[in-house]
Amino acid sequence: MLSRFAAQLAAEIKQHDWSDAPYRADKAGHNRQMDGRNATPTQLDPQQTRMLTMNVAWVAAQVLAYNDPNLDEHEFFEACGLNARNKDGRLSGGVTHGLRFETVENGGRRFQVPGTYRFDLESEAAEKD
């Protein structure tokens, strides 16, 4: 089960219409259908929109996983409205490999410090069992 914070963050990512994100700055919860005459004519195709949403979800999941040892990145991706499974129904390894971490001795994971490419060896929050 996602933490309250992770679930709320996923809900915002899912609700936001990312299809015109490269072409205009929008408020949180942007919905292109509400733009009316202010809508931009340029829009990403569905695959491009999905890729953008995946990158947003990975960035958020990196911070969440660093701070929450119980984060399930697949559950988070699904809560963001993204598919976290392969065609055969198994959990996608691609979701996991989009995060920056290393495996530690006990089989857990230590995540890189948000905004860096380094591991914080002092932080217990960085380890996930």
H-state helical runs in 16-120: 46-67, 73-79, 93-97
Say if residues 67 and 125 touch (Cβ distance below 8 Å): yes
Q: What is the pLDDT along the chain (129 residues), one digit of tens a residue?
A: 999 999 999 999 999 989 988 888 877 777 888 887 878 889 999 999 999 999 999 999 999 999 998 999 999 999 999 999 999 999 999 999 999 999 998 889 999 999 999 998 665 454 555
CB atoms within 10 A of CB 33: 7
Between CA 57 and CA 3, with CA 126 as vertex, the angle to 5 degrees is: 50
